[in-house]
Amino acid sequence: MSEEKPIVGERGESEKKKDRTLKEYCSDFIKEGREWKLTPRSFFFSFAWLGILFLLVDLLSKWLVQLNVRPGSAGGEIWVIPDFFSIYLTYNQGSAFGMGGGSMAMRVIFILVSWIASILIPLFHLHYLRKNDPWINAVFALCFAGAAGNLIDRTFYWNETVGFSGVIDFFCFYIFGPNEAPFAIFNVADACLSVGIVLLIVIYLVRFVIEAHAKNGK
């Protein structure tokens, strides 16, 4: 009689994966990203430069407004498109578009969230670079610029250090007319984050439709 060999099933492999520590999992996660080869072409399509560029644009635009426009309507609202779009300097201690402002507890929470996002986004970007997906790379770049741009404001801009407190917002839109409250007041970082999230949803919806159509066509 032939000796039966033990069969290692899928359950055994999954159990081994569960036994891995968080440190080992994170190490493998980052190691996969290191398989990406840096070349001029791969760097361009990584869109890492785009994230850095928009971060610099965000910081520069905030300080240009801060140094040249007084906060609030008393400083003179600068109309770009009459009765629709203006430059209106304000300080937001909450999240994007003014949500949760005025509460120190909420600001601390948003600071922690911004730090976590600013660390995780580059890690995931590094991990997925090996997949050579320019669209997703662009999403990561935009989201990093948005998270890091407002992170700097929330963490370092306090009355005791710079004379004002919170995130610098200045793009002001009056969707419902100049006599109504502004629809939104935001900055470049907010715009990057919003565009990145919308772009991510559109990408996955389009790819889902394409894959479903391909399967049905077989």
Q: Is the pLDDT of residue 10 over 70?
A: no
DSSP label at residue 101: T
Which pLDDT value is given to residue 5? 54
Q: At what angle do helices 48-68 and 134-156 cross, to 10 degrees?
A: 30
- Asked if residue 194 lies in contact with residue 185, where contact means CB atoms within 8 angstroms, the answer is no
Whether residue 34 is predicted with pLDDT greater than 80 in this model: the reply is no
Record the pTM. 0.80
Q: Is a pLDDT exceeding 90 seen at residue 127?
A: no
Known catalytic residues are 169, 190
| Distance between CA atoms of residues 184 and 197, nearest Å | 17
Q: What is the pLDDT of residues 84-107, one digit of tens each?
A: 999 999 998 765 555 555 677 888
Position 130 scores a pLDDT of 80
